[in-house]
Structure 1
Amino acid sequence: MSAALFDLSDRIALITGSSQGIGYTLAKGLAGAGATIILNARNSEKLEAAAERLRAEGATVHTNAFDVTDQKAVTAGIEAIETSVGPIDILVNNAGIQRRMPLEDFPAQTWDELMRTNLDSVFFVGQAVARRMIPRESGKIINICSVQSELGRPSIAPYTASKGAVKMLTKGMAIDWGKHNIQVNGLGPGYFKTELTEALVKDEAFTAWLVGRTPSGRWGNVEELIGAAVFLASPASSFVNGHVLYVDGGVTATL
């Protein structure tokens, strides 16, 4: 009985920004729980390479390359997935970017790029998928938030603003779509070792600060996000809605 609560067999999951990093790891984790996976990114070659790695491990994987910041491309991509693969049961809005510089020097065009990627894409893809989930009266949407949905750090104010907005959009989605048996929740990673954080991991001063700041006393390993993602994607979370689950080693719990 307990295992069945986390079983994703016969479910189709779309994960945006999943050719590498956290998105790829979450796709791998959902596949391990039985889901059919659809990888998404803009680079078709990287996408196919990621798919082949997952297939070699026994996963059922499809790919669909479209730009999540382009609403027309999103609409066409979701239609193609539902026509060729089947109804999307699980959506993980993972695509995102980071840009670091002092706020007073932050160019408007970089602000627009960051917001379009981190926030607009969640609205575009979430809306396109929800429009199809609503008539089916079923669905799971997981928006990737961050500890920066709650906390600030020097030189990343626009990123913090975007992730704070994703947290509140998650709550809004849950409020509007909960009546259709759609659960919308956020997954908030802390500091994890990925391709994008490699420079920070190698920065001895930053790592020393982070280890001292984190109750668990270390960087996170991306595989430690899988359990939370499977929970939020599965029947086990059928009455969890509008919540952000932080997987951060305790960073948001301490000053």
Structure 2
Amino acid sequence: MAEYYEPIEEIQARAKDLQTFSMKQFSLTNKVAIVSGGNTGLGQAYVVAFAEAGADIYVPTFTSEGWEETKRLVEAKGRKVIFEEVDLTKEDAPKQVIEHTLSAFGHIDILVNNAGMIRRNNLVDSKQTDWDAVMNINLNVVYRLSMAVLPIFKKQNSGKIINIASMLSYFGGKFVPSYTASKHGVAGLTKAFASEASAWNIQVNAIAPGYIATSNTAPIRADQERNDEILGRIAAGHWGQTNELMGGVVFLASPASNYITGIIMPIDGGYLVR
């Protein structure tokens, strides 16, 4: 086999390219993010992380719970946050949220589809109303909010959509068929959007949080048998804390991830490796 010698021009170009890397690529300075359901729990953590990284945030929520605390945390970092109480399942709500964000901040750079819900029942006790409610907010709203912001991102030839998947995007789970189906759907939707939107320099990814200590997981942690079962699979040996997801969401929202699209990124303390 003949030896190959890389042309000096390619070596010089690569060296120049390496010098363009900067930690500023992880900054969200002057970016504007929409974080649905960003008033409590993991959503609140994403909002505070964005503020720390330099972004202003628009937060559509179903209730006003947590507004004051979230506002205090964001403003302490010198950034702005605006809340809107809205039922995102209403037909005109996604378009309304996009219009109000543009009116408030002038542009949109990031959408985090965080709003969601869970209904726990034995399979035989599951109700159609539970299925419909969970699928509507966990999957339909993700699709409709993404579709509402897509024309703006396409026109400006840039944008980040970050969906919130789950460990139940990979597994069947117990007692949560509607939630499991919706989170499998979020994973598929993420890949489908990424496949087409990449042509417009739009990156679409998802975070799959592991077992995080929040109010949503309190019933599981209170069940000693289930708690021990979960902890036995977490390589890190502990339930995740909300701050342990903040770096991941900032990374996927930042220019540092511009060549990453269509992934489902587990932040799970190694749950999936066991």
After TM superposition, the score normalised by the length of structure 1 is 0.95
The residue identity in structure 2 corresponding to 1:83 is S
Tell me which residue corresponds to 1:134: 154
Task: Check if 1:191 corresponds to 2:234.
Answer: no
> What pairs up with 1:6-155 in 2 under 5 angstroms?
6-44=26-64, 46-155=66-175
Tell me which residue corresponds to 2:12: none
Structure 2 residues without counterparts, runs of 5 or longer = 1-20
The residue identity in structure 1 corresponding to 2:188 is M
- Is 1:64–1:81's contact at 8 Å kept on the other side of the alignment? no
Larger Rg: 2
Tell me which residue corresponds to 2:223: 203
Identity of aligned residues (%): 38
Q: Of 218, 221, 232, which aligns to 2:241?
A: 221
The residue identity in structure 2 corresponding to 1:17 is G
Task: Check if 1:164 corresponds to 2:184.
Answer: yes
Inter-partner Cα distance in structure 2 for 1:178 and 1:66 = 30
Inter-partner Cα distance in structure 2 for 1:57 and 1:238 = 25
Q: CA deviation at 1:142?
A: 0.2
- Is 1:69–1:124's contact at 8 Å kept on the other side of the alignment? no
**Residues 239, 62 of structure 1: CA spacing in aligned structure 2 closer, same or farther, 3 A cutoff?**
same
Structure 1 residues without counterparts, runs of 5 or longer = none
Inter-partner Cα distance in structure 2 for 1:154 and 1:147 = 12
Q: CA deviation at 1:205?
A: 2.1
Tell me which residue corresponds to 1:251: 271
Q: CA deviation at 1:124?
A: 1.0
Q: CA deviation at 1:204?
A: 2.3
Q: CA deviation at 1:71?
A: 2.8
Inter-partner Cα distance in structure 2 for 1:30 and 1:213 = 30
Inter-partner Cα distance in structure 2 for 1:30 and 1:46 = 17
After TM superposition, the score normalised by the length of structure 2 is 0.89
Q: Secondary structure at the match of 2:108?
A: coil
Q: Secondary structure at the match of 2:58?
A: strand
Q: CA deviation at 1:19?
A: 0.9
Inter-partner Cα distance in structure 1 for 2:33 and 2:260 = 18
Q: CA deviation at 1:188?
A: 0.4
Moved over 6 A (4+): none
Task: Check if 1:4 corresponds to 2:20.
Answer: no
- Is 2:139–2:186's contact at 8 Å kept on the other side of the alignment? yes
Tell me which residue corresponds to 1:239: 259
Cα root mean square deviation, aligned: 1.4
Q: CA deviation at 1:45?
A: 5.4
